[in-house]
Structure 1
Amino acid sequence: MATNEDVARIGRKLDKMVHKNNTDGALDLLMELKNMTMSLETLQSTRVGMSVNAVRKQSSDEEVQNLAKVLIKSWKKLIDGSKCKSQKKDKNDGSLMRTTSTSKDSCSSEKSSKTTAKSPVELPSLVTSFPVIPLTTDNVRNKCRELLVAALQTADDYKTFGVDCSLLAAQIEEQIFEDFKSTDVKYKARLRSRISNLKDQKNPDLRRNVLCGNISTRRIASMTAEEMASAELKKIRETLTQESIREHQLSKVSGNETDMFVCKKCQGKDCTYTQVQTRSADEPMTTYVMCNDCGNRWKFF
């Protein structure tokens, strides 16, 4: 039986090939998937069907296309079989709860379910065969889902990965709603932060990781603003934090009073200076000067 880790690993490799527009080596990965015994749970949790479908659309290799079609067809049968079993179980459970004279009804229900199993439901693609979109009649929640769909479709990445953005947006919104159990201010604030970060043109990696499944719907629903930020913004924040820490440390030190410095702002000489080792040990210390008259601060090298 194929493990989720192995299937997810192959799915990520296929997604990278699609993203780089280079499907060399895809045939070996598809052969590896073909030799695995796939379960419905693994298909749904890893979403490997989307990756295979995206490779099939992009690859010009006929052998890759044919093998991808074979895999998708076999996984459709697995999903169809699971649906038929579920229908059969529901009908049998319902017949047992009515009366004690339901044995005949149960038999007819089994015959009906067998007939249904013989005529599988036609599915337009593998993507639409995965879990249905969780429904809601709340206008606020539906509007939030529409905004999430628009954010996920900011660029054409979703076409490359073959993702159903409506389903993905509904799952993200569902996770956020589960945290608050209402559409209050906190719920709306979290939705706004997800939408703005997914739409950020300077941070496309966040959106791509969500689309290809590297960041799960549970994860994106609970990430902080710092975790969603781009690498460039994280670096800026770190620099500002270090500067704030340094300024805070300087404000705690009384320093040494001197009249050797002249304030460029008020021309006063009543100053206090402090020396801090901000560079390597073999370089001179940095002198921070503060004017006691106007509060102006500057560095002296």
Structure 2
Amino acid sequence: MDCEKDVLRIQKKLDKIVKEELGQDEALDYLKALKDLPINLAVLTSTRIGMTVNAIRKKSENDEVNNLTKALIKKWKKLLPDSGSATPKESTKEEGKTSDKAKEPPKESQAPVKESAKDKKGSSSNVQSSFPALPTTTTDSVRLKCREMLCAAIKGDGVAVDGGGDPEYLAQMLEECIFKEFKNTDMKYKNRVRSRVSNLKDTRNPNLRLNFLCGQVSPARLSNMTSEEMASDEMKNIRQKFTKESINDAQLATVQGTQTDLLKCGKCGQRNCTYNQVQTRSADEPMTTFVLCNACGNRWKFC
């Protein structure tokens, strides 16, 4: 618990440095303090300190700060399940250089190499699913504009949320999830982005934005949520009430008419009937009486 409290305290300081763009010397001190803390997987998951350190890395132009943030992220990735087989980019480059100098192995020896490559791909995908991934860069003007709109909606009134993620990072991830579904920037893609923006901006539904910032709703989940799922609790209660009333009205619908026990059903012999009188002939003729047995559903008429 003491380690988690220290991490949360340092996280608040780092968030302040990112938002107010303060000096990097202070950030370097806090990063060094993080490096000395015994951070385990539980602390890493509950505090989401990885996102804050990643935000510092993107904002900083200090080489020492960048190197330290990369070292921390690399160290924390090793805490994740099945992350031991994931190889960093530096080692991959070194292996490429040595493999160029060495002779090509025979075809028989290439098969296990391919299997190991598949294993590496599988383990790296596990790491990406549990550790915040970096969004891809794009030069598409439509996608960049959509990311700006989403970022502004996520920021809202500009008040910082304790333990919240980086709005810019979340906006990029959300846009990327939407783009991967449609694979282009057509009208369906734009309508999906607009609906996320309007719901995140809705002042009557602040919980959606807060849950997204705090990680309760992931970018992949928000990109596919329906309007009913994104609605506020008040709106969900109203819709549920209307649905319940409609069901009750359908269940309570009865045949219009006058109930009586003076008429006897010729089919089941019970005296639980409902009758209606309709003028089916000329005005000087008596009305026709239609009778329904409420017990067996038998219908008949008499004049």
TM-score in terms of structure 1 length: 0.49
Return the structure number with greater relative CO, CA threshold 8 A, min gap 6.
Answer: 1
